[in-house]
Amino acid sequence: MRTLVAGVDSSTQSCKVVIRDAESGALVRQGRAAHPQGTEVHPDHWWAALQEAIERAGGLDGVAAVSVAAQQHGMVCLDERGDVVRPALLWNDTRSARAARDLVEELGGPERWAEAVGSVPVASFTVSKLRWMAEHEPENARRTAQVCLPHDWLTWRLAGSPDTITTDRGDASGTGYWSPATGAYRTDLLELAFGAVPALPRVLGPADDAGTIADAGIVEDAATVARAGTRAPVRLAPGTGDNMAAALGVGARPGDVVVSVGTSGTAFAVADAPSSDPSGAVAGFADATGRFLPLVCTLNAARVLDAAARLLRVGPAELDELALQGPPGAGGLVLVPYLEGERTPNLPEATGSLRGLTLATATPAHLARAAVEGMLCGLADALDALGLDPRRVLLIGGGARSEAVRRIAPTVFGRPVLVPEPGEYVADGAARQAAWSLAGGTEPPEWAAGRTAVYEAAPTPGLRERYADAAARP
Ligand SMILES: Nc1ncnc2c1ncn2[C@@H]1O[C@H](COP(=O)(O)OP(=O)(O)O)[C@@H](O)[C@H]1O
Ligand SMILES: O=C(CO)[C@@H](O)[C@H](O)COP(=O)(O)O
């Protein structure tokens, strides 16, 4: 009988589960469930969505190992008994913007942070959220005995909430108090931010053992339980942050840049050495293979398309049609997509804007085109900020399902774009990590890569310049 592995992507908008053959990587079954809206969410909702997604994927029957990847940075605080202290503040919650600015100043400037942990904190980082809580909710801060991240918490719940919580290098690198260069916590920075040092998860290596799923870890129907009988223990892999898992899922190699159009927009690359950018644009994360993952993140990606579709009262397919009908450059109409504030550039209080509106550009097609182009201009800036000359640019994430995004991306990026078959690359990366934890060894198992479509088009003259001008003058 073949061995199966399960990969979980507990990201901002939903939880996805894929079940794959551990040896070949072939997809066997999958399921998903929605997460609530909002930038603070009680972790119990993630737990409920995980159960639902597992059920929709046909349960864990035959699965030998599970790995959970999840949205990065979210602050999950637990009390002495392991109960959640308050709803988690997510990566896209910007109330901690001032706390981040204060922390940068208190340590002596952005260079000091980049040197210490590879990244300069912005509102998204866990360290900034902890400072916000210490200042605004002292009673919750006092009750906080442990701090962990979304994937740590879900893995721990699957294990039946044992004494120790675990994490991995990738997710730890998004806290702001763990150094990818030294592989150690900087509890001095946590103390600076929070005024105390709560217990922190143990940082596991890429294919380490994070325990086994407890019987109570998954809700299963009676028939499945009866079929399973005395089931072999289901191993838990370390899990990781969603971008780290995406890199593993898409098989990113040095020389590739991956651009993900999810709730966040990210551009990242696998690197052999740690990075540190004092400008704060590039976060110097660790990856899920023992390497590193310099990454630029925007707060506004696929939801810009959702917002444009809502304004135009159309669905995603019609938005695509409209955007492709609109002229390249949208006749000078520019949408600056700071709908949730922005992280790169660091403008947490910014709002979106529309420039170049004339009688001629006041059409649904121009607006749809400007929305896709504006969102992609933000990502092109992210790509440029990495400072690499990539061999391949791979486009993934929910937004890459849009034909307009796929066809317009090369006109904005000024280079060909490779689009892997639409899929759940974060969950796939987690599944590959689960297979790796079963097989052992120093590298993840080789799984056959799917088909990749190449999109090529001439760059649209003046587009990036008009966007830069509009973004600089909100
Ligand atoms: N066919 C489609 N066309 C355009 N956008 C799509 C399509 N399918 C999904 N999306 C977009 O995918 C987004 C979710 O992307 P996803 O990567 O799953 O997000 P996350 O992982 O952050 O929860 C939605 O906001 C939606 O805009
Ligand atoms: O904050 C970051 C990266 O630093 C985000 O990329 C989050 O990890 C959320 O990811 P998605 O839900 O958009 O995939």
Helix axes 150-158, 43-56, angle to 10 degrees: 60
Whole-angstrom distance, CA of residue 221 vs CA of residue 340: 40
Whole-angstrom distance, CA of residue 10 vs CA of residue 249: 15
CA 422–ligand 1 middle distance (angstroms): 11
Q: What angle do CA 166, 172, 173 make, to 5 degrees?
A: 165
Helix axes 97-107, 126-136, angle to 10 degrees: 100
DSSP helix/strand/coil, 150: helix
Q: Is the CB of 262 under 6 A from ligand 2?
A: yes
Task: Per-residue pLDDT tens, the chain, 474 aa: give them.
Answer: 799 999 999 999 999 999 999 999 999 999 999 999 999 999 999 999 999 999 999 999 999 999 999 999 999 999 999 999 999 999 999 999 999 999 999 999 999 999 999 999 999 999 999 999 999 999 999 999 999 999 999 999 999 999 999 999 999 999 999 999 999 999 999 999 999 999 999 999 999 999 999 874 565 544 454 444 456 799 999 999 999 999 999 999 999 999 999 999 999 999 999 999 999 999 999 999 999 999 999 999 999 999 999 999 999 999 999 999 999 999 999 999 999 999 999 999 999 999 999 999 999 999 999 999 999 999 999 999 999 999 999 999 999 999 999 999 999 999 999 999 999 999 999 999 999 999 999 999 999 988 999 999 999 999 999 999 999 986
Q: Which of 400, 433, 394 is nearest to 416 (CA)?
A: 394
User: CB of 243 within 8 A of CB of 295?
Assistant: yes
CA 169–ligand 2 middle distance (angstroms): 16
Question: Residue 32's beta-bridge partner residues?
Answer: 16
pLDDT of 160 reads 95
CA 71–ligand 2 middle distance (angstroms): 5
Whole-angstrom distance, CA of residue 385 vs CA of residue 390: 12
DSSP helix/strand/coil, 290: coil
Q: Is the CB of 73 under 6 A from ligand 2?
A: yes
Q: What angle do CA 53, 58, 64 make, to 5 degrees?
A: 95
First to last CA, the chain: 60
Q: Tokens at residue 158, please?
A: 């699957």
Ligand nearest to the CA of 91: 2
Q: Is the CB of 309 under 6 A from ligand 1?
A: no
Question: Residue 392's beta-bridge partner residues?
Answer: 256
CA 15–ligand 1 middle distance (angstroms): 12
pLDDT of 225 reads 47
Instruction: Clarify whether 272 is annotated catalytic.
Output: no
CA 298–ligand 2 middle distance (angstroms): 9
**DSSP 8-state symbol, 399:** G
φ, ψ at 220 (rounded to 5°) = -130, 150
14 CA closest ligand 1 atom index: 23
Whole-angstrom distance, CA of residue 31 vs CA of residue 19: 9
Ligand 2 mutation pick, 12, 93, 168, max ligand atoms within 8 A of CB: 12
Ligand nearest to the CA of 71: 2
Whole-angstrom distance, CA of residue 51 vs CA of residue 327: 45
CA 262–ligand 1 middle distance (angstroms): 6
Scanning 12-84, the segments in alpha helix (DSSP H) are 43-56
Buried b / exposed e over 282-318, threshold 16 CB at 10 Å, is bbbbbbbbebbbbbbbbbbbbbbbbbbbeebebebee
Q: Which of 294, 158, 304 is nearest to 220 (CA)?
A: 158
Ligand 2 mutation pick, 89, 90, 91, max ligand atoms within 8 A of CB: 91
Q: Give this complex's ipTM.
A: 0.98
- Those residues whose C-beta lies under 8 Å from the C-beta of residue 58, and which sit 6 or more positions away, are 19, 29, 31
Nearest CA to ligand 2 atom 10: 71
Q: Tokens at residue 112, please?
A: 């000091």
> CA torsion 33→36→38→44, rounded to 10°?
-100
Ligand nearest to the CA of 150: 2
Annotated binding site for substrate: 72-73
* Identity of residue 50: L
Q: Is the CB of 11 under 6 A from ligand 1?
A: yes
pLDDT of 230 reads 53
- Those residues whose C-beta lies under 8 Å from the C-beta of residue 106, and which sit 6 or more positions away, are 192
Q: Tokens at residue 69, please?
A: 């990847």
Choosing from 93, 168, 242, 428, the catalytic residue is 242
Whole-angstrom distance, CA of residue 142 vs CA of residue 351: 34
pLDDT of 219 reads 52
Whole-angstrom distance, CA of residue 146 vs CA of residue 199: 4
Ligand nearest to the CA of 245: 2
Whole-angstrom distance, CA of residue 69 vs CA of residue 50: 12
Q: Is the CB of 402 under 6 A from ligand 1?
A: yes
Ligand 2 mutation pick, 71, 119, 304, 396, max ligand atoms within 8 A of CB: 71
Q: Tokens at residue 474, please?
A: 């909100």
